[in-house]
Amino acid sequence: MSLTIPDDVLQSARMSESELRQEIAVILFQKEKLTLAQASRLAQMSRFQFQHLLSSRQIPVHYDIVEFEEDLETLRQLGRL
């Protein structure tokens, strides 16, 4: 699915497309609607970069079983497990 945000909305908010993506990702992560991996992908950042963004805003990182299982699957796919 694609979402089109008109340029005038971004200009009114004084945000770039990248900043808006990050804000949406942070909000959805805080509300536990997205996992850390999902939110970092939405923000188009590495997990480390996204965690740093969260830390700079004093937002705690919650890491649950689903995320652990996703990490294990990623490691299996990379042949590191």
Write the pLDDT tens digit of every residue in 29-58: 999 899 888 999 999 999 899 999 999 999
Looking at residue 18, its pLDDT comes to: 94
For the chain, the domain total comes to 1
Look at residues 67, 14, 18, 63 and name the one whose alpha carbon lies nearest to residue 43: 18
Return the structure tokens found at 4: 């089109």
Whether 2 is covered by a domain: the verdict is no
Look at residues 70, 6, 77 and name the one whose alpha carbon lies nearest to residue 39: 70
Look at residues 25, 33, 16 and name the one whose alpha carbon lies nearest to residue 5: 16
Looking at residue 35, its pLDDT comes to: 87
Handedness of CA 14, 20, 26, 32 (dihedral sign): positive
Whether 1 is covered by a domain: the verdict is no
Owning domain of residue 31:
7-77
To the question of pTM greater than 0.75 for the whole model, the response is no
